[in-house]
Amino acid sequence: MNPNNETNEILSLYSPTPNIQWIEENFDNNCQFDGPAYSLSGKENIIEIFRAISVYTKSMKVEKSVSSVSNRDIHIDANFLITFKYISWYPLKMRLLLVVHKNFENKITRFEENIFMESLIQNIPLVNYMYFQLVKPSFGYLMVKMGMLSKIKVENHMMLKQSSHKLNDSHEQKNKNNQHHEPTMSEMIKEKMKEAAINSEEDHHHDEDSHKNHSTTNNKKSKENEKKSTHRKQAMSAQPITN
């Protein structure tokens, strides 16, 4: 089938009088249908979905459409002008995006129908003005400002990163040029502990020497006292005894 003819046949289904025979010939028996508010499967159910259009619409016309066709997929972006039976004096505009998937037998296995909500909003006069003239431009302005803020943050981050790299390079170069080795904190702590151990050992030896000297002095004094006591005894024994 010619791709353009196939696209036209799909668009013609959106009518109070859809071509049911074309659905029977080109849809797979287990075809999946996904709409804005419902999802179902089976060719017979899909036929009833398109038959239901005649219940609530008086007419449904395609104003313009753009399609993209490949071997297994069809994408259609279409604008419809719909006249409902109960508000026939006020036609509504609606934009649909249709995505159709086919299998190797060229049968439609999945039919997706998506409604652009903006196309419905434009049908409500006051809401239309508020959304398209106030809300949407404001959000656009806000997004631009957020993008500019993000750009400034990225630039500042890059500048800080470059400055950090320069400082690191300068520090590394300084370390290379500096021949004197500056001890690290752990090395300084080890050196202090070693000095403290040496001082403690010297104090211990000094105490031992002092103790030995004190003992030697006491021994000398004791010997001298013994000698003096011996001399006194000898002197007393040498004196004559008088009556």
Q: What percent of the chain has pLDDT over 90?
A: 41
Say which DSSP state 36 is in: S
CATH C-level class of 3-119: alpha beta
Nearest to 82 by CA among 92, 74, 73: 92
Instruction: Give dist(CA 208, CA 220) in Å, integer.
Output: 19
Q: Above 50 in pLDDT, residue 58?
A: yes
What is the pLDDT of the chain when averaged over all its residues?
81
Which residue has better confidence, 26 or 162? 26
Q: Which amino acid is at 112?
A: E
Q: Above 60 in pLDDT, residue 14?
A: yes
Domain layout of the chain by residue ranges: 3-119, 124-177
Q: Above 90 in pLDDT, residue 143?
A: no
Nearest to 73 by CA among 47, 34, 96, 106: 106
Q: Provide the terminal-to-terminal Cα distance of the chain, rounded to the nearest Å.
A: 171
Q: How far is CA 200 from the centre of its chain?
A: 58
Q: Above 90 in pLDDT, residue 130?
A: no
Say which DSSP state 28 is in: E
Which residue has better confidence, 195 or 93? 93
Identify the pLDDT of residue 213.
59
Specify the DSSP element, H or E, that contains 58: strand 57-69
Structure-block tokens of residue 235: 């002197």
Whether residue 33 contacts residue 111, with contact meaning beta carbons closer than 8 Å, is answered with yes
Identify the pLDDT of residue 133.
84
Q: Above 80 in pLDDT, residue 25?
A: yes
> Does the predicted TM-score (pTM) go above 0.85?
no
Instruction: Give dist(CA 78, CA 34) in Å, integer.
Output: 17
The mean pLDDT of 125-129, rounded to a whole number, is 84
Identify the pLDDT of residue 243.
40
φ/ψ (deg, to 5) at 86: -90, -10
Identify the pLDDT of residue 199.
72
Identify the pLDDT of residue 154.
74
Q: Which amino acid is at 172?
A: E
Structure-block tokens of residue 191: 């050196």
